Amino acid sequence: METARKIIGLLFIIFLALPTLFGVIWAVGMIRASVSPEFLTELPREIIARVPETVDEIFQDARSEEFITDDRIRAWFDAAVKAGIPPREVFEKTGLMSWMEDEVSDSLRQFGLVLRGERKPRPIVIELRPLKAALLHPEMERFLTETLNQLPSCDEQGMKTWAEFMGSGAHHLLQACRPDPAVAQEALLSARTRLVEQIKDEIELMESPYRFPVVPFGLSNFVSSISYLLFLIPAALIFLGAAIGAGSPAGIFRWAGISVLAGSLPALLLSYGTKSLSLWAIKSWPHRWHEAWPTEFGDLVMKKLSWIPARVVDQLFSPVIGVAAVVCVVGIVLYALSFTVQDHSRKAGKPISAAPRIAPKAE
């Protein structure tokens, strides 16, 4: 009977409790990651701050045959650098840089404050009109014109390519040549106008406060705290299986501790291994995570931007690793407590010894 009870408890834990614990660890970790202000607000602001530096690096490396073997692409970037107008300067004079640093960053900061409960909810909107204005800014026009001036004049084939571009608006690579100024101006203005028309006027990060749940200590902390209640499910299953299989309080704690370790240790190893493997893959083959842009220039851009998915992976998997590590510690504590309970049980069950009898002396 005792053997059958242990087998039933063991099967209950293996096939029901452990998979539930494994899934809850991942669920709680991902919930913490997805609602954290660091992931939703701080990471985008960090990306914005590094945009100008990254663009400068792309412009410099795109001129090298080591990265770009296509002569046309290198000619375009070589002309852009020879124009003497750094991309950072274009960003600043068109207002694009101030829009990213002020408008976008401040909206993200406000959103983070609401998530932390440090500010009452209110509508938060990112205005995209400054972005549209920057694309049509005279300084952008000057940058494009100066770049064209560094290119040789177009031949007949080059003029045909420019004419097709102006007529169809197809996003194919133009010949690295300078057409008639009027043609070039009209073609580039038409392309920028089409791009601007596709951009919305604003992005709404947060709707009306009446639709936003208000909690005393912040939505992020509230959701993270509530998610921990999910652990009640595997905890109940584990202790139920331990109660079936073990025959004493010490055995229940020992079974529970081993079960918690058996469910959390694989989650810890898998989350850490997935994070490490993902970071290695991003670093080794940065172009593989953007197959829709299979060009040398696309590979260069992906390499320069590979730190972004690396940061995203780190932000997503680190909470899972942390949760799994804490659950492992809980399993170790439960296992250690089983010996304490066992010692108390033995002490409680030990009969009080009677006074020693003194044998009568032999006469």
Tell me the per-residue pLDDT of 4-44, one tens digit each, with 9 for 90 and over. Answer: 989 999 999 999 999 999 999 999 999 888 787 777 777 78
Is position 330 within any domain? yes
Note down the domain range covering 28. Answer: 2-128+200-343
**How many percent of the chain have pLDDT more than 90?**
30
Is position 154 within any domain? no
Top mean-pLDDT range of 94-98, 303-307, 317-321: 317-321
Is position 360 within any domain? no
263-311 pLDDT, tens digit each? 999 999 999 999 999 888 887 765 554 444 456 777 788 888 888 888 8
Is position 12 within any domain? yes
Is position 214 within any domain? yes
Give the mean model confidence (pLDDT) for residues 49-68: 86
Give residue 169's pLDDT.
55
Q: What is the total count of domains within the chain?
A: 1
Q: Residue 212 pLDDT > 70, yes or no?
A: no
> How does residue 345 score in pLDDT terms, banded at 50, 70 and 90?
very low
> DSSP per residue over 180-221, as a string?
-HHHHHHHHHHHHHHHHHTS-SEEEEE--GGGS---TT-HHH
Whole-model pTM: value is: 0.71
**Runs of H (alpha helix) within the chain:** 2-12, 18-35, 37, 43-49, 51-61, 71-82, 87-93, 96-98, 105-116, 129-135, 138-149, 156-168, 181-197, 219-227, 232-245, 249-284, 296-304, 307-349
Is position 204 within any domain? yes
> How does residue 105 score in pLDDT terms, banded at 50, 70 and 90?
confident
Is position 190 within any domain? no
| Average pLDDT taken over every residue of the chain | 82
Q: Which residues contact 124 (CB under 8 A, 6 or more apart)?
A: 107, 110, 111, 114, 204, 205, 206
